[in-house]
């Protein structure tokens, strides 16, 4: 009895933590885009300088959705054209001439057999009664009518379906602000899974989901989990995977490239610019597999190092990447990698 009572009390306390605060004066409501979050001191990290990062990510997602619709419509149009061309295709002249000669020979042979069988038919018809002949004619008429009805049935064309809603994974959610903005500002987003390995962050994310109303509650789900393990156990389940860690994303890349579906999108941020720009070449080599040099083009080199690292992880699973957009802003770099498809056999 005591254990059950303690379990109920713990469940009530957890529910109370996830509910909206009874005293709003203790919290500050922060608005960004169409999302609102509750801030209480420094409980959950909020990076104000990465507003551009989130705005740019939403713009890329909207473009990705539009391109996805175009590709889906083009695919269905191509299928319809193939069906139409196969149904209306005519045989070549040589084949038509061969078929006509064979048909003439078969018709002449059939005429000879019909003449021989004509006398037998006359005998059989003379022995049959008029009622039986009428029934046979009625059966033949019914068969002809059935065939005509089948020919007259309309052909229903298969209409192209809309692409399914996007399934998005935010691997390091913190307050859940990015996940909430995806759900509220990108129309085709169906589900956003907001992960974090910190209980306080997950509780704050759940409060923010309820704060943003029914749309956010129906689309965003907060989960307490290790992002690496979660992505490894959900292979090819997400159309979009967003990595925005505090520091290097190298430890998440191997599982991230496995979690993206074929034709999906991977968004990745790296804030360890000192390492990527050549201040510590050994650390960069251990994390990204590349040795940087200190030069004026260090930011471009940092982008290329990150892209090469993602490509190397994708190649391990017979996949490849196509960089969509790469930017260097303030103290971080951000890459948008699309089309993590399987490699075609040589």
Task: Kindly list the structural domains of the chain, giving each domain's residue range(s) and its CATH number in brackets, ordered by start.
Answer: 19-75+164-338 (3.40.50.150)
The pLDDT tens digits of the residues spanning 216-249 come to 999 999 999 999 999 999 999 999 999 999 899 9
Please determine, for residue 10, whether its predicted confidence score (pLDDT) is greater than 70: no
How many CA atoms lie within 13 Å of 89's alpha carbon, on the beta-carbon side?
Answer: 9
Note the pLDDT of residue 13.
42
Q: Which residue is associated with the tokens 């473009």?
A: 63
Band (pLDDT 50/70/90 cuts) for residue 7 is: very low
- Is 37 or 125 the better-scoring residue by pLDDT? 37
Note the pLDDT of residue 122.
55
Q: What beta strand segments (E) does 112-259 contain?
A: 166-170, 189-196, 220-224, 238-243
Contact 223, 303 (CB under 8 A): no
Please determine, for residue 340, whether its predicted confidence score (pLDDT) is greater than 80: no
Please determine, for residue 61, whether its predicted confidence score (pLDDT) is greater than 70: yes
Q: Which residue is associated with the tokens 């510590």?
A: 280
- Is 147 or 103 the better-scoring residue by pLDDT? 103
Percent of the chain predicted with pLDDT > 70: 69
State the average pLDDT over residues 56-60. 96
Band (pLDDT 50/70/90 cuts) for residue 269 is: very high
- How many Cβ atoms from other residues are within 10 Å of residue 188's Cβ? 17
Please determine, for residue 199, whether its predicted confidence score (pLDDT) is greater than 90: yes
Cα distance between residue 228 and residue 43, in whole Å: 23
- Is 315 or 103 the better-scoring residue by pLDDT? 315
Cα distance between residue 93 and residue 327, in whole Å: 60
Cα distance between residue 294 and residue 247, in whole Å: 20
Q: Whose CA is closest to 237, among 345, 343, 340?
A: 340
Band (pLDDT 50/70/90 cuts) for residue 76 is: confident
Helices and strands (DSSP H and E) totals, the chain: 12, 9
Band (pLDDT 50/70/90 cuts) for residue 3 is: very low
Note the pLDDT of residue 155.
37
Cα distance between residue 43 and residue 112, in whole Å: 99
Note the pLDDT of residue 145.
47
Note the pLDDT of residue 206.
94
The pLDDT tens digits of the residues spanning 284-327 come to 999 999 999 999 999 999 999 999 999 999 999 999 999 999 99
Note the pLDDT of residue 83.
73
Residues 6+ apart with CB under 8 A from 321: 257, 266, 307, 310, 311, 314, 337, 338, 339, 340
The pLDDT tens digits of the residues spanning 42-54 come to 778 788 888 999 9
Note the pLDDT of residue 138.
47
State the average pLDDT over residues 257-266. 94
Please determine, for residue 181, whether its predicted confidence score (pLDDT) is greater than 90: yes
The number of residues in the chain equals 346
Average pLDDT of every residue of the chain: 79
The answer to whether the pTM exceeds 0.85 is: no
Report residue 73 as tokens: 């419509």
Asked which of 79-88, 140-149, 170-179, 320-329 is least confident by mean pLDDT, the reply is 140-149
């Amino acid at each position: 009895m005591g254990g059950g009572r303690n379990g109920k009390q713990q469940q009530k306390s957890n529910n109370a933590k996830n509910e909206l605060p009874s005293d709003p004066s203790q919290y500050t409501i922060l608005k960004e885009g169409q999302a609102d979050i509750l801030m209480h001191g420094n409980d959950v990290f909020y990076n104000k300088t990465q507003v551009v990062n989130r705005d740019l990510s939403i713009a890329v997602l909207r473009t990705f959705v539009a391109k996805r619709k175009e590709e889906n419509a083009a695919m269905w149009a191509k299928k319809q054209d193939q069906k139409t061309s196969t149904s209306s295709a005519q045989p070549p002249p040589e084949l038509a001439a061969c078929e006509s000669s064979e048909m003439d020979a078969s018709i002449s042979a059939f005429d000879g057999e019909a003449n021989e069988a004509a006398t037998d038919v006359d005998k059989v018809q003379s022995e049959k009664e008029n009622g039986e002949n009428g029934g046979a004619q009625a059966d033949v008429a019914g068969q002809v009518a059935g065939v005509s009805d089948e020919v007259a049935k309309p052909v229903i064309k298969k209409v192209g379906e809309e692409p399914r809603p996007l399934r998005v994974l935010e691997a390091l959610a913190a307050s859940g602000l990015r996940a909430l903005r995806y759900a509220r500002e990108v129309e085709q987003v169906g589900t956003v899974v907001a992960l974090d390995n910190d209980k306080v962050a997950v509780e704050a994310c759940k409060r923010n989901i309820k704060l943003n109303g029914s749309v956010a509650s129906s689309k965003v789900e907060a989960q307490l989990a290790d992002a690496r393990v979660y992505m490894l156990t959900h292979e090819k389940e997400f159309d979009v995977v967003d990595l925005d860690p505090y520091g290097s994303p190298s430890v998440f890349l191997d599982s991230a490239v496995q979690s993206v579906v074929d034709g999906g999108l991977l968004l990745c941020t790296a804030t360890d610019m000192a390492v990527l720009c050549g201040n510590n070449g050994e650390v960069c080599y251990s994390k990204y597999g590349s040795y940087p040099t200190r030069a004026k083009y260090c930011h471009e080199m940092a982008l290329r190092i990150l892209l090469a690292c993602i490509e190397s992880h994708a190649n391990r699973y017979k996949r490849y990447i196509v960089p969509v957009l790469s930017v260097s802003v303030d103290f971080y770099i951000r890459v948008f990698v699309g089309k993590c498809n399987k490699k075609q056999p040589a």
